Chain A
Amino acid sequence: MRTEDDIRAAFRTLARQAPDADAVLNAVRERLETPRVGQRQASRGRRLLAGLASAVAVMAVIGGSIALAAGGHAPDRAAAIGGHVPHRAAESAGWSAVDVRNTGPGGAPPYYLTLVNGRTRPHQAYPDQYVAVVDTATGATLATLRPPKPFHTFDYVIGAADDRTFVLEAQRTNGGGGATLFRVQIDPSRRAVTLTALPIPPIRQDGQVNGIALSPDGSRLAVLMRLAGYQRLSVYSMTSGAVRVWRQPGTAMAYWPSWSSSGILAFNWRSGVWLLNTATAGGGLIANSRLALAEPHGRNIWGDLLTPNGRTVVATQTRDLHPGNEFEFAEYSAKTGRQIEALLPEHDAIGDLGWASPSGNVLIVEVWGTRVGPEAKNREVLGALSGGRLTPILSQAVAPAGPRQDFPGSMAF
């Protein structure tokens, strides 16, 4: 039976397990009949929270001093001073083994950050997530980072090409509510991990975040969002919070932002890769951008990434066969849009790109495929791709098996 037929059959089975409609309808009626006083109180509460959130954002912009509550999950967390939340690693064995001057396997950075599923609180659909700092060479967990109160979960982690600047997004609940961005500073010599609330307003809840990218030097943050009737790119200064905004009307989404060192931002829109010079004037996202690469006929490009030197766009590229597919990491010239190289071509595989070194010579990738891996059962490889060769990286900190969708956002180098 074909995969598509299996999916149809599985969905039909699932649909038969739907909740009882009468019970749901009764619950809806009960909620609709709830005294309006309660609704007004809830509404007032939301307005109050929104007001507080705005006030916090303003404080951050003016003074750079967000005072987060002391205590939190870790008893040794001190009150925040000057926007810093000193965050002692809960588990720090192994730091001494890491020499930050060296690189990891295949030219990868010596350590990386990854989200890990924690416990699921009552009435939550998804588990809270914390962050593990992982030794790239051994896969050992060097430290763990848990969100400071009032946050319960981290939802997004990205890194810069300088490989030592990271940004985390913290939320009160997994999947929505009060998203705030933090800079992560790691000092292995002092075994210290520090979170600093960024002077950037909380991410709007009325839109959908389609990508966040940190500039190679860690100084600017790009956030691509889909809002009602338009797409918005916001580029924030990590130090002052100053923002520039570009907009594109319509529902076609822009996603997968990535930066060059010279301030060019790449993103995908309508299956093409566009380049925007963020230093030039103008507020139109597409009007001020150049189409660098159109998706080749019959192929799908995915997760495209502009290398920090600005010369190449790397993307995963697939072509559907029947059955199966052809897969490769494709390297394109950012100037001409022509394909320069096909890296790691495979049949029946998919992959993701996670990081490019400043020179663009080392890529961190994930590949899932029937022919991939040193053992038959190891169909999933995280590795450093350089000179056409993939050097596996151990990632024991990441618990779940199967397609993990680590990039972007769940793992950062």
Chain B
Amino acid sequence: MTFDEFAQTRLPALLAFATVLTGQRATAEDITQEVLIRAHGRWDQIAPLDRPELYVRKMVLNEFLSWRRRSWRTVPDANPMRADDLTADHAASYNEHAAMLAQIAKLPGRQRAVLALRYYEDRSDAEIAELLGCAPATVRAYASRALAALRVELRPGLSEFSTPVSGEI
């Protein structure tokens, strides 16, 4: 497969993955461009691989984590996709999922990557571990923590848990 053939057939899926990963269309485009430029430069080594698309996907993942290299401590844009970025057809579904996406956008990069690989790409923890370069147990820890954070933020009916105290808990 030539680089052009690869780009023409696999680019839409790569861009969708990058968009899910970053939550930002512009960042997804920048990352994918950077990765494709680098992949082009070493296509002779990538093309013979069993699954070149997996390798390039890993490049996208690494670029995302590198892009946000230390940003697991920073707070990214809580409203990752502007309303005027959206077509009318998607507006309803965007509104429906906006709260979830806003909370996911606040997660550290690795937690977000685990969620994207698990729930968008449906990859196993072993595959995710290989892509991220960590142990499957660490993947489970990332996922567990991310899910806990989302549940805490999105859980309704908080008033029933109110426990007024004066300065101490």
Contacts from A to B (Cβ < 8 Å)? 3-4, 6-19, 21, 24-25, 27-28, 31-32, 115, 117, 125-126, 129, 155-156, 169, 174-176, 208-209, 226, 251-253, 270-271, 295, 300, 302, 318, 320, 323-325, 327, 344, 348-350, 368-377, 379, 381, 383, 389-392, 400, 402-406, 408-410
Contacts and interface: CB of A to CB of B under 8 A. Distances in A.
A117 B106 CA distance: 14
Interface in B19-38: 19-20, 23-30, 32-33, 36-37
Contacts of A374: 163-167, 169
26 contacts: A9-B100, A10-B97, A10-B100, A11-B20, A13-B90, A17-B85, A19-B25, A24-B11, A27-B33, A31-B37, A117-B75, A174-B71, A174-B74, A271-B141, A300-B144, A302-B145, A348-B148, A348-B155, A373-B169, A375-B164, A390-B168, A402-B106, A402-B153, A408-B73, A409-B73, A410-B73
Contacts of A373: 163, 169
A6 B81 CA distance: 18
B87 to A, nearest CB: 8
Given A15-B16, A270-B137, A375-B164, A7 B104 contact: yes
Interface of B: 7-8, 11-12, 15-20, 23-30, 32-33, 36-37, 40, 65-76, 78, 81, 85-86, 90, 93-94, 96-97, 100-101, 103-104, 106-108, 115-116, 119-120, 133-135, 137-138, 140-141, 144-145, 147-155, 158-159, 161-169
Kindly list the 3 A-B residue pairs having the minimum CB-CB distance in the complex, ordered from nearest: A10-B97, A376-B162, A251-B133
B147 A17 contact: no
Contacts of B73: 115, 155-156, 405-406, 408-410
Given A126-B71, A295-B137, A400-B78, 15 more contacts: A7-B104, A9-B93, A13-B90, A15-B17, A27-B29, A115-B73, A271-B135, A348-B152, A368-B153, A371-B163, A376-B162, A391-B168, A400-B75, A405-B73, A405-B106
Contacts of A409: 70, 73
A12 B66 contact: no
Nearest to A327: B148
Contacts of A391: 167-168
Contacts of B7: 25, 28
Contacts, number: 241
- Secondary structure at the A interface, as helix, strand, loop or mixed, is mixed
Nearest to B72: A405
Contacts of B8: 25
A43 B43 CA distance: 21
A10 B158 contact: no
A389 B19 contact: no
Contacts of B26: 125
A4 B114 CA distance: 12
Nearest to A385: B169
A192 B116 CA distance: 46
Nearest to B158: A376
A181 to B, nearest CB: 13
B153 A403 contact: yes
B167 A392 contact: yes
A271 B163 CA distance: 34
B39 to A, nearest CB: 10
Contacts of A3: 147, 150-151, 154
A238 to B, nearest CB: 20
A391 B104 CA distance: 29
Nearest to A117: B75
Nearest to B35: A28
B121 to A, nearest CB: 9
Contacts of A320: 144
Given A32-B40, A126-B74, A350 B148 contact: yes
Nearest to A105: B167
